[in-house]
Amino acid sequence: MINKHNIEIVKLSAKNDGRKELTGVYFTPEHTIATDSFKAIIVDTVGEKETFDPFIANPKRLKGVTFDKETQEKIVVEQDGKIEIRDKDFWFPIQKISGEYPNVQRVIPRSKYAIKTIKLNAKYLRQLMQVMEKMGRGEVDMEIHPYENIPIVFRGGGNGQNALGLIMPITSKK
């Protein structure tokens, strides 16, 4: 089954790309994927796994799929080559995009090779990145130090004005 998080990832898909398949969201029974070649997100499906062939959904059609308090999950139904997202009161036809979705899984570094795992507050990170993005280049350098309880340092800026941001990790594991 899918929930709102499987649909919201459409925000991370490519907007206008020479490869039309990157503008969509890739659905499999196990997860949904969105990428624009620079960033990617993979969100697991919830509950009982459904049976359907993987497909790329048109993002404009996905924006019409809604979730309310009573309906937190929906199912994906494939019938006669057509895809629908359904719950007991609602069905929504999904337009497929042809093409082959890139294998995002192959670029994910294996966790066992990670030197360190750092947990950050996503809200703080988003706020800091939004401010730093507006300052210029849209790029930041991130410094991770090997010591415990040391903030993650972000350096950026532009137009002759530098910015330095700090976020304390929530937890840190080796």
How would DSSP label each residue in the chain? -EEHHHHHGGGGS-SS-SSGGGGSEEE-SSEEEEE-SS-EEEEE--SSPP----EEE-HHHHTT----SS--EEEEEEETTEEEEE-SS-EEEE-B--S----GGGGSPPGGG-S-EEE--HHHHHHHHHHHHHTSSS-EEEE--SSTT--EEEEEEETTEEEEEEE--SEEE-
The pLDDT value recorded for residue 17 is 66
Q: Are residues 76 and 24 in the same domain?
A: yes
Q: Are residues 98 and 16 in the same domain?
A: yes
Q: Are residues 35 and 87 in the same domain?
A: yes
**Domain boundaries, position 135:** 111-173
| pLDDT mean across residues, the chain | 84
The total of other beta-carbon atoms located within 10 Å of residue 24's CB is: 27
Q: Are residues 88 and 115 in the same domain?
A: no
Q: pTM for the full model? A: 0.78
Q: Are residues 95 and 44 in the same domain?
A: yes
Instruction: Give 37-90 pLDDT, tens digit per residue.
Output: 888 999 999 888 888 889 999 888 887 787 777 767 888 888 777 888 888 777
Q: Are residues 83 and 139 in the same domain?
A: no
The pLDDT value recorded for residue 43 is 94
Q: How far apart are CA 23 and CA 174, in angstroms?
A: 37
Q: Are residues 133 and 72 in the same domain?
A: no
Percentage of residues of the chain with pLDDT beyond 90:
17
Write the CATH number for 126: 3.10.150.10
Q: What's the number of domains the chain is made of? A: 2
Q: Are residues 95 and 121 in the same domain?
A: no
125-147 as b/e, with b when 16 or more CB fall inside 10 Å?
A: eeebbeebeeeeeeebeeeeeee
Q: Are residues 97 and 64 in the same domain?
A: yes
Instruction: Confirm if 93 and 55 have CB atoms less than 8 A apart.
Output: no
Q: Taking residues 82-100, report their average pLDDT.
A: 83
Q: Are residues 10 and 40 in the same domain?
A: yes
